[in-house]
Amino acid sequence: MAKHSSYWFILFTLSSAILSGCATKPSNDSSILIVQQSVEQRTKQLTQIKQWHLRGKIAFIAQYKDKKSKRESATIAWRVNEKNQTQELNLTSYLGINVLNLTSEHNHHLIKVDGKEYRGNNLVQLVYSITGLTLPTKALTFWLKGLAYQPRDQVELSPKTQLPVSLTSLFDNVQWQIDYSKYKMFNGVLMATQFTIKKDNLLIKIAIKKWTLIN
């Protein structure tokens, strides 16, 4: 399949599988300090959450060799059920036009974009067939919750709140850097509402308006 440059936006979207604001250290709000948990307590709590839904905004910034950059943004709605191995991701433009729809059930994936449908049993390979690049779609379901995807992932914690500040991961021999900021309570859990995800010349910014968490 020809790999057209018009698919760069799809590529960045699927790296969220996914899904604005500059990363800083987690907010020192008193509410965060009061509800402080140990690393073990928080990790256990998050790993028990098998269903979640997020809504917000996402922006993709690509820096090219000629120092020019390209930016695209959209609203994002992403629903994941880890128990049933299903997910649905929708991207919508500021005009309310659906840009992309991804649905997955077990190992069956369907991507709809520009009036075309793409199907496959391996999401990473399906993304590669469209874009020509490999993306850590599964890893992002861990990273967005501030969890390490692999034992070798490095998570930096705030010494005051014990909340993740950054996460560094090597996926497919490429280093990814995820930064977290502005935590807020959702369903009894403190979740980051602003992220930056960096890889090579790609910067992804995510601002989450609402997390819905179900055990």
E strand or H helix that includes residue 102: strand 98-105
Residues 137-186 have pLDDT tens digits of 788 889 999 999 889 999 999 998 899 999 999 887 789 999 998 999 99
**Stretches in the chain below the pLDDT threshold 50:** 1-3, 5, 17-31, 33-34
Q: Delimit the domains of the chain by residue range.
A: 5-208
Rounded CA separation 108/42 (Å): 32
3-class secondary structure, 65: coil
pLDDT of residue 171: 80
pLDDT tens track for 196-207: 999 888 888 999
pLDDT at site 59: 87
How is residue 201 annotated by DSSP?
T
| pTM score | 0.80
C-alpha 123/C-alpha 91 separation (Å) is 17
Total length of the chain = 215
Residues 6+ apart with CB under 8 A from 60: 8, 9, 12, 13, 71, 72, 73, 202, 203, 204
Neighbours of 116 (CB within 10 A): 8
Amino acid at 145: K
**CATH code of domain 5-208:** 2.50.20.10
